[in-house]
Amino acid sequence: MSTDTGVTTSKSASSAAGERLLEVEHLTVKFPTADGLVNAVTDLSYGVARGQTLGIVGESGSGKSVSSMAVLGLHDPRRTRIEGSIRIDGQEVIGLSESRLRKIRGNSAAMIFQDALASLHPFYRVGKQLSEAYGAHHPKASARDGRRKAIEMLDLVGIPQPDRRVDDFPHQFSGGMRQRAMIAMGLINDPSLLIADEPTTALDVTVQAQILDLLGDLQREFDSAIIIITHDLGVIAEMADEVLVMYAGRAVEYGATRELLTHPEMPYTWGLLSSVPDVSADPDARLLPIPGNPPSLLDPPTGCSFHPRCVHVDKVPGDLCSTSTPELTPGGRGPGHLKRCHLADPDRIYATEVLPEIAPDLADGSATPAPSTATPSTTPPTTKEA
């Protein structure tokens, strides 16, 4: 269930989706620099089961990508200090040699990187790169086998005329097609875990919806676990079974998607929801951004890392927010809901102060507006069964 410092999937989701494929426990990632030690991730724990999608959200610098890159052992061990445990299908990742990590990458777990154009080599044809990814884990496969598999995967992800486009270079693909090619590369060896880092960034709304539908279809076909990293709460509402909210390298709230988006209990989550534009709102209405800037991870604030930007500090007695780091404790929204905050009654504050500002028509506290990747609405998100 939970610990004071970490997050795991809820019992209901875990039992429905099966045993957890990925187990991250007390993960800490630090980068020594000339200016000091960067505390990129601090004491993070979570788990993902087969067939389940976990969404990780937060501002830039919150530790989303750093923690997920650690899952695949992509940090340079000479320049990184990693503590804790990461297990993929029972196999401990931290401390593995590079040769053993290569057997895991692409085979047991794969990652779709944020910038598809930068991730694909510009001098090699798309099909060649796909066939190399296949051959890395199938040494007995011939070049013809690799090409056939590349065409099969391009067809699977919806690339038109895959037998011809397999010989194109990345710059000959559109942005959406490059993203599809990256998904094909990630899935070419049938990994059990797929990590998608901002898979819809810089894509138009129509292509975003197609990519998300594609990921959902492929998950159902392969029964894979998916971690989707994004700052877009609409994507989370569409895709995720559970949500992990990160701030300054820590988990600050966690729970089932519907419950967390409709009844958040952490002021940082309130700020993320308040920052989402709604095209159906009054055109003169102002956005409500989170004040200030994310903290420096070289010198994070004492106490709650969000307290310098939090407008509800005055509701906590004394100087508790600035002197004591809150533990990750059970929230009030069902099993598995966790929040890191000193507020004694976050539900009342959200219903009486936050909700009237971001959604006056829903200020009775029954629901909050759900961000959408297509047409924004004022109804709670519908999430798939875990």
Average pLDDT over residues 39-43: 95
Residue 284 lies in a domain: yes
Percent of the chain residues past pLDDT 70, beyond the cut: 86
Q: What is the mean pLDDT of the chain?
A: 85
Average pLDDT over residues 282-308: 86
Residue 325 lies in a domain: yes
Helix (H, G, I), strand (E, B) or coil at 131: helix
pLDDT of 383 over the 60 cut: no
The kind and range of the H/E element at 152 are helix 143-156
Distance of alpha carbon 383 from alpha carbon 257, whole angstroms: 7
Q: Are 268 and 292 in contact (CB under 8 A)?
A: no
Residue 346 lies in a domain: yes
Look-up of token digits 């795991």: 8
Report the pLDDT value the prediction gives residue 379, as an integer from 0 to 100. Answer: 35
Distance of alpha carbon 348 from alpha carbon 176, whole angstroms: 43
- Sign of the dihedral defined by the CA atoms of residues 93, 98, 100, 103, in that order: positive
Beta strands in the chain (DSSP E): 20-33, 36-49, 53-57, 81-88, 91-92, 109-112, 193-197, 225-230, 242-247, 250-256, 329-330, 338-339
Report the pLDDT value the prediction gives residue 56, as an integer from 0 to 100. Answer: 96
Residue of higher predicted confidence among 348 and 382 = 348
Residue 333 lies in a domain: yes
Residue 303 lies in a domain: yes
Residue of higher predicted confidence among 364 and 43 = 43
Distance of alpha carbon 114 from alpha carbon 127, whole angstroms: 20
What is the tally of structural domains in the chain? 1
Helix (H, G, I), strand (E, B) or coil at 272: helix
Residue 166 lies in a domain: no
At 13, the pLDDT band (50, 70, 90 cuts) reads very low
Residue 58 lies in a domain: no
Average pLDDT over residues 358-371: 56
Percent of the chain residues past pLDDT 90, beyond the cut: 58
Residue 308's domain spans which residues? 259-362
Nearest Cα neighbor of 376 from 364, 363, 358 is: 358
pLDDT single digits (tens) 325-344:
999 999 877 778 999 999 99
pLDDT of 222 over the 90 cut: no
Distance of alpha carbon 63 from alpha carbon 44, whole angstroms: 10
pLDDT of 30 over the 90 cut: yes
The token duo for 29 is 């990632």
Report the pLDDT value the prediction gives residue 279, as an integer from 0 to 100. Answer: 66
pLDDT of 62 over the 90 cut: yes
* Helices H / strands E in the chain, number of each: 15, 12
Residue 295 lies in a domain: yes
DSSP letter for 319, please. T
Q: Which of 56-70, 221-235, 267-281, 363-377 has the lowest mean pLDDT?
A: 363-377
pLDDT of 308 over the 60 cut: yes
Distance of alpha carbon 155 from alpha carbon 162, whole angstroms: 6
The token duo for 186 is 């990630």
CB atoms within 10 A of CB 163: 14
